[in-house]
Amino acid sequence: MPFFDTHTHLDYLQADTGEPLGDLVANASKAGVEKILIVGVLEKYFENLEKITALYPNNLYYGLGLHPLYIRQHSYADLDKLEQRLISRTANCRAVAEIGLERAIPELLTDELWKKQCEFLETQLFFAQQYDLPVSLHSRKAHDQIFTFLKRVSLKKCGIIHGFSGSYEQAKRFVELGYKIGVGGTITYLRANKTRETIRRLPLNCLVLETDAPDMPVFGFQGQPNRPERIANVFQHLCELRNESPEKIKQIIWQNSELLFAI
């Protein structure tokens, strides 16, 4: 079975490295990464995501979303523009992503900006509900807060808690709502005991793989841009944590990803 990288910023990777998009796709393919989801973060990049994924329609898919890290830059008009893009979306638009809440940066937690973060998350969850799309959720020091939104706004296709690094109990609550847990570079670091133990204990049918390229570098590649092909490194560490055979792990995780994004 091939790999599906369920969360990347491939447009950022291309801009950072200057590499042709075709080379990035080819390198991923050589490593067995057949499908890649590119997530949006700012309205000004939405059109580019549509264009670049159209060049490789069998390999590249995209999500559109307004990321909480850029909450100061987002305007409320951007929500209207996002909805219009979702209404007229192309076939390769498979998610409302990347959305969520950011609580690790004090400057984004003023009363005004926290209220705005919450409003943007709730509105985008309603978009996902209305247009029957899954979500990919940024949740940094915000698992409990995001859970209250997900419990209130029920999504048919649910989605992924991206870059999960919380406790088993927190992950279990998301899984019970129907959400998948994004497994990335964090588990390649032996010091990440809590996350590694959580991923070891969770049911295999709730896990998906991701790189967050060019971010979240895997162990051994610190200081370098992360790449979709390094899914193989994450997979290797996942196999070391699990009791199932590598073949079964790869098959189930591919099926989880394929079904979630209706590929």
Mean pLDDT of the chain, nearest integer = 97
Domain of residue 171, CATH code: 3.20.20.140
Domain coverage including residue 205: 3-261
8 Å CB contact between 38 and 49: yes
Q: What are 245-259's pLDDT values in tens digits? A: 999 999 999 999 999
Whether 67 has a binding-site annotation, put simply, is no
Query: Mean pLDDT across the stretch 218-236?
Result: 97
Report the domain count for the chain.
Answer: 1
Asked whether residue 19 carries a pLDDT value surpassing 90, the answer given is yes
Asked whether residue 263 carries a pLDDT value surpassing 90, the answer given is no
Q: What are 57-103's pLDDT values in tens digits? A: 999 999 999 999 999 999 999 999 999 999 999 999 999 999 999 99
Q: Strands 60-63 and 207-209, how do they pair? A: unpaired
Locate 227 and state its tokens: 């790449």
Q: What are 30-46's pLDDT values in tens digits? A: 999 999 999 999 999 99
Of all residues in the chain, the percent with pLDDT exceeding 70 is 100
Whether 9 has a binding-site annotation, put simply, is yes
Asked whether residue 166 carries a pLDDT value surpassing 90, the answer given is no
Calculate the alpha carbon distances from 125 to 2, 12, 151, 247 in Å.
30, 25, 11, 35
- pLDDT interval class at 150 (50, 70, 90): very high
Reported as type and span, the H/E element at residue 25 is: helix 21-30
* Cα 102 to Cα 82: distance, rounded to the nearest angstrom: 20
Q: What are 173-217's pLDDT values in tens digits? A: 999 999 999 999 999 999 999 999 999 999 999 999 999 999 999
Mapped onto helix, strand or coil, the DSSP state of residue 175 is: helix
Q: What is the pTM of this model?
A: 0.97
Whether 7 has a binding-site annotation, put simply, is yes
Whether 210 has a binding-site annotation, put simply, is no
Opening angle at CA 124, ends 121 and 99, nearest 5? 55
Mapped onto helix, strand or coil, the DSSP state of residue 182 is: strand
User: Count of residues for the chain?
Assistant: 263
8 Å CB contact between 246 and 220: no
Tell me what pLDDT residue 40 has.
98
- Cα–Cα nearest to 92, from 126, 118, 55: 55
8 Å CB contact between 156 and 130: no
Tell me what pLDDT residue 178 has.
98
